[in-house]
Amino acid sequence: MTEDKVTGTLVLAVFTAVLSSFQFGYDIGVINAPQQVIITHYRHVLGISLDDRKAINNYDLNSTEELPTSPGDPTPGSRTEEETMTSASLITMFWSLSVSSFAVGGMIASFFGGLLGDKLGRIKALLVANILSLVGALLMGFSKLGPSHILIISGRGISGLYCGLISGLVPMYIGEIAPTTLRGAIGALHQLAVVTGILISQIVGLDFILGNHELWHILLGLSAVPAILQCLLLFFCPESPRYLYIKLDEEAKAKKSLKRLRGSDDVTKDITEMRKEREEGSNEKKVSIIQLFTSSSYRQPILVALMLHVAQQFSGINAIFYYSTSIFQTAGISQPVYATIGVGAVNTVFTAVSNKLPWMSYVSMTAIFLFVSFFEIGPGPIPWFMVAEFFSQGPRPAALAIAAFSNWTGNFIIALCFQYIVDFCGPYVFFLFAGLVLAFTLFTYFKVPETKGKSFEEIAAEFQKKKGSAEMPKPAVEMEFLGPTENI
């Protein structure tokens, strides 16, 4: 059948779209490997003495270069203990903001990806979003020439705005151009591109490549490259036929786009499917975010959806992606950036005791790889599938928006607070995440219904059963597949 055909135009369009996903992953992971190099530069710019032995020792683990000093640095021993602690707190604050400002941008923009896509079209929306990516990359790329902490925090925040937009735009576009039978496989490329971006950022962040005192600013600004490439390729990509037909009612343009994507002049089946989708959408009223929480029909599903996304972030996964270099340092691994390249996850108990026995450092590294692997199987993509499956077309946009916001909020909390929690808990920090994961596991077992192969009526009945209510569920509306949106 022609709808199963993978054409050159489809490959080009999907590849171009997931360049945004790649940038998303790159921006998540790029701040990790050069942590100590950037912190040392912060000290230099702020004129803070480097006589803090802990800072020097941490730097030496990651670089053999001579530490930069400021002409105004006081001599070692001239600083009081209180001044040293104040300086350390200041650096910790700037570093936490450098990491977490990315999530702040994502939180803000997560509500506007779908709106921008509907207003401008999927292609133009991606082009506009790339302006943010380029601005953020330029700020970080030139951060070495100015007040680096301010430029990095600002650049990370603007890059977060970009990633918040594309976390909705990319899966939306890919899901709308892919043939029905290939939608699941092609939709998974978004998540694959994200984790590929994380991996590449950690490789090029090695000390002998870009993660050193001379080149770290280039490492941070390198995301401009895929942004520029995507801007060029987008001019050759067809607009989403679903957007053209359902949103703009331009059937001729939709058919033209479909013919390019399918490599066939017979696109009757696709047009029929879209016509049915438009009719179903017109018969169901849109639901606001407030109504999700005030209506008894939606309250239970939205609370479960939000809990799934909170669980995803508070599993500790982004603590790994943002801070794995320092985690491996604590575990006693002599070259933590190499372990960071393979980062996949963390077994919380083994990580917590990794300081106690020398051989446990390798157990810790293996445990982290396993954790990320299992995360990508379950807690990573599944919450996004389930939010789409909990709600029909009317409430789905609002539900996905509030779910994305809660996901980014959890991301921000972890990014901002993890360094402080580590300072307080030391090597036992992941016991906290272990307790949270246990609680989320119990919640999932008792409160989350199975959705596979079920209609909305059947899912609503499952929610009512778990709530212990005798209320009648809403009329059935058959589910359509909706690919996962984000990830981490």
Give me the tens of pLDDT residue by residue for the chain, a chain 488 residues long: 444 678 889 999 999 999 999 999 899 888 877 888 888 888 888 877 655 444 434 444 444 444 444 444 444 445 566 666 777 788 888 988 998 899 899 989 988 888 888 889 999 999 999 999 999 999 999 998 888 889 999 999 999 999 999 988 888 888 888 887 777 677 778 777 887 888 788 788 888 889 888 999 999 999 999 999 999 999 999 999 988 998 888 999 999 999 999 888 888 888 888 888 788 777 777 788 888 888 888 888 888 888 888 888 887 777 666 655 555 555 454 444 334 334 433 333 333 343 645 555 566 656 666 666 666 566 666 676 677 677 766 777 788 788 888 888 888 888 788 778 877 777 677 778 778 888 888 888 888 877 666 665 677 677 777 665 444 444 444 334 344 444 45
pLDDT computed for residue 150 by the predictor? 92
pLDDT of residue 431: 78
CA distance 102 to 415: 9
pLDDT at 134: 96
d(CA 36, CA 211): 10
Question: Is residue 299 a contact partner of residue 287, using CB atoms and an 8 Å limit?
Answer: no
Q: What is the pLDDT of residue 360?
A: 56
Q: Which residues contact 40 (CB under 8 A, 6 or more apart)?
A: 50, 55, 59, 67, 68, 213
Cα-to-chain-centroid distance, residue 52: 34
Closest CA to 161 of 121, 105, 212: 105
- How much is the pTM? 0.73
The whole-angstrom separation of Cα 423 and Cα 96 is 12
Q: Measure CA 409 to chain center.
A: 11
**Could you please report the per-residue DSSP string of 37-97?**
HHHHHHHHHHT--S--HHHHHHHHHH--SPPP--TTPPPTT-S-HHHHHHHHHHHHHHHHH
Identify whether the C-beta of residue 188 lies closer than 8 Å to the C-beta of residue 39.
no
Question: Coil, helix or strand for 251?
Answer: helix
In the block, tokens 């040293």 appear at 84
Which CA distances in Å does 447 have to 68, 289, 301, 398, 444?
55, 22, 10, 21, 5
Q: How many helices (H) and strands (E) does the chain have?
A: 23, 0
